[in-house]
A and B are shown apart, each in its own frame.
Chain A
Amino acid sequence: MSDKNLEVRFGELRLKNPVVTASGTFGYGLTYSKFYDVSTLGGFVTKGLSLKPKAGNKPPRICETAAGMLNAIGLQNIGLDKFISQKIPALKGVDTAIIVNFFGNTVEEYAEISARLSEIPQVSALEMNISCPNVKEGGIAFGSDVRATSKVVSACRKTSKKPLIVKLSPNVTDITEFARACEAEGADGLSVINTLVGMAIDINKRRPVLSNITGGLSGPAIKPVALRMVWQCYKTVKIPIFGIGGISSPEDVIEFMMAGATAVQIGSMNFVDPHIGKRIADTLPSVLDRIGESHISGIIGAAHS
């Protein structure tokens, strides 16, 4: 099967294949070039950026769980200025979609970052994080209230000249209300889902393991929940969806796409198998063959009919 058959159109964004790596698990893009050529991916999403650098939470920040992990990194990042002056020039020559994830403390900050990121030619699209469970400001405050979501998406829509993707929180009663609000405010796509709030306790110390007490659960353990939410969002909105949550194989990619995702993002599995992005992109054609499909876009939403 030719590579052309793996191409998908995520709104205006053309991806050479649907395999993208998720924010917070892929650094600023080049961390993984010691393992493989990242241009083999459909794209990658950079670590969440804020206007000013952020130190992040006190350790311990991570903890293993059954088929997954909890993290409370606290959005540690180098800040927008350093990203523009140091990371963007290093990405020269990378032939894949570069999606920049960002967050703010206020609606105004979100709008300002989105404006400034729009000026960078190498940036293919913006992903707004309104769903980080580990910080008070910037994340969940916007992602768990439909009116706050509408307001912040509308503000970024006005300042963004790039495709604008909103990353939704699963920690809500009805994710479709948020999906609908994003579409109504002009979002170009959705990323579904961010991590689920969880915790772990150290029975010897009689204390929570994470210094932040709670953390975001990710990995294969959350896949069924993520898949269900992609399914619901696909039924609700017309804009394209990135399916995210526990993807560890090409079969998982196909499952998410059949549930309605146009493309997917791989998160925690990058840590376990740093070659996984390339491995999945390389093996996807043979799995498509096996299920008797010639073009990947033919399976988007296939499980709904």
Chain B
Amino acid sequence: MSENHSALAMDCVVIANEPLGDGHFHLVAEPVVKPVAVAPGQFVMIRVANMLDPFLRRPMSVADFAPDGSRIGFVIKEVGKGTRILSILSPGAKIDVVGPFGTGFAIPDGAKKVWMVAGGTGVAPFLGLTENIKRADLDYTLLMGARSASQLFYAARFRDNGVNVITATEDGSDGVKGFVTSALSAELEKGMKPDVIFTCGPSPMMRAVAEIAEDAGIVCHASLESYMACGFGACLGCVVKKRGAEQYVTVCRTGPVFNALEIEI
């Protein structure tokens, strides 16, 4: 047992907390202890308050980050009491973070054209991916969907980073009118074909993306969400069903990023 016993505790201090609009915010924190290296697509478990209610930690994908873990950012949507508490934290506030956990987005060997399909806060891991995994031969395209133009977070930042950004809005206020999956199908119909599709967002969206990818014979990796109590494989609460087997695997440890063919989204 040579493991570093304290490697996964990351008490952090908030250095910025900026509203992004429509109940979304960008929280940036720095570990006050020795940072732990982070990979794109990994997540952490945040204890939103040092109280017994809310009881469980909240899982959050690491968005933008410094590779050595000395700075980690989150793109968060306020949906309930835990995220509300996080939304009002001011710079200087302490947050109790454990992690990072899970498998991240790994670019398959030889893949050059990487498409990312994101809905809502699903853009979070792709900030970290495109800003930290940069190679001359990598060609990134982000297809991002939202209800309206005001929720297309970070489109400009992605473009500045050299990512080809295609947008879709349900109200037609920016890009393709409709769901991001329509934009994905339209791109594929043009004869474009990526080497891999990464997707993160609401389950119905990811299910549709996975189907489109499967039909087109493209490898698809999806970052799943699930209710989590621990985040590190101890409670067996976060499971997803394996495809074609009466067997469940943990989202927190086996995932959250899965080859879409292996699980039922």
Contacts and interface: CB of A to CB of B under 8 A. Distances in A.
Interface of A: 24-27, 30-37, 47, 55-56, 58-69, 71, 73, 76, 93-94, 219-220, 248, 268, 270-275
16 contacts: A24-B235, A27-B233, A30-B1, A34-B8, A35-B6, A35-B9, A37-B1, A55-B246, A59-B226, A59-B248, A62-B237, A63-B227, A67-B52, A272-B56, A274-B232, A274-B234
A71 B55 contact: no
Contacts of A76: 236, 239, 248
A95 B39 CA distance: 34
Contact of B227 (A35, A62, A248, A274): A62
Interface string B231-249: 1111111111100001110
Interface residues of B, number: 35
Contacts of A65: 55
For the complex of A and B, list the 6 residue pairs with the smallest distance between their C-beta atoms, beginning with the closest.
A62-B237, A271-B230, A67-B52, A271-B229, A36-B5, A61-B237
Contacts of A248: 52
A31 to B, nearest CB: 5
Interface of B: 1, 3-9, 47, 52-57, 98, 226-241, 246-248
A37 B232 CA distance: 16
Contacts of B248: 55-56, 59, 76
A27 B240 contact: no
B229 A71 contact: yes
B53 A66 contact: yes
B7 A34 contact: yes
B5 A34 contact: yes
Secondary structure type dominating chain B contacts: loop
A201 B236 CA distance: 21
Nearest to B253: A31
A56 B8 contact: no
Given A76-B236, A270-B230, A69 B55 contact: yes
B9 A275 contact: yes
B48 to A, nearest CB: 11
Contacts of B54: 64
Contacts of B52: 67, 219-220, 248
A31 B232 contact: yes
Contacts of A26: 234
Given A55-B248, A71-B237, A271 B56 contact: yes
Contacts of A36: 5-6
B33 to A, nearest CB: 13
B10 to A, nearest CB: 12
Contacts of A61: 227, 236-239
A245 to B, nearest CB: 14
Contacts of B231: 271
A114 to B, nearest CB: 23
A161 B4 CA distance: 36
A220 to B, nearest CB: 5
A30 B227 CA distance: 23
Nearest to B231: A271
A92 to B, nearest CB: 10
A26 B98 CA distance: 17
Nearest to B240: A59
Given A62-B227, A64-B56, A219-B55, A274 B3 contact: no
A82 B234 CA distance: 17
A273 B1 CA distance: 21
Contacts of B233: 27, 31
Contacts of A272: 47, 55-57
A30 B240 CA distance: 23
Contacts of A68: 55
A36 B8 CA distance: 10
Given A268-B229, A274-B98, A35 B5 contact: yes
Contacts of A35: 5-6, 8-9
Contacts of B98: 274
Contacts of A69: 55-56, 229
B230 to A, nearest CB: 4
Given A32-B234, A55-B247, A274 B8 contact: yes
B231 to A, nearest CB: 8
Contacts of A56: 236, 239, 248
Given A33-B5, A61-B236, 8 more contacts: A34-B5, A56-B236, A59-B238, A68-B55, A71-B235, A71-B237, A270-B234, A271-B56
Contacts of A27: 233-234
Given A69-B55, A69-B229, A272-B47, A31 B234 contact: yes
B207 to A, nearest CB: 15
A291 B5 CA distance: 31
A36 B9 CA distance: 10
Given A62-B227, A64-B56, A272-B57, A33 B234 contact: no
A271 B9 contact: no
A236 B55 CA distance: 34
A196 to B, nearest CB: 15
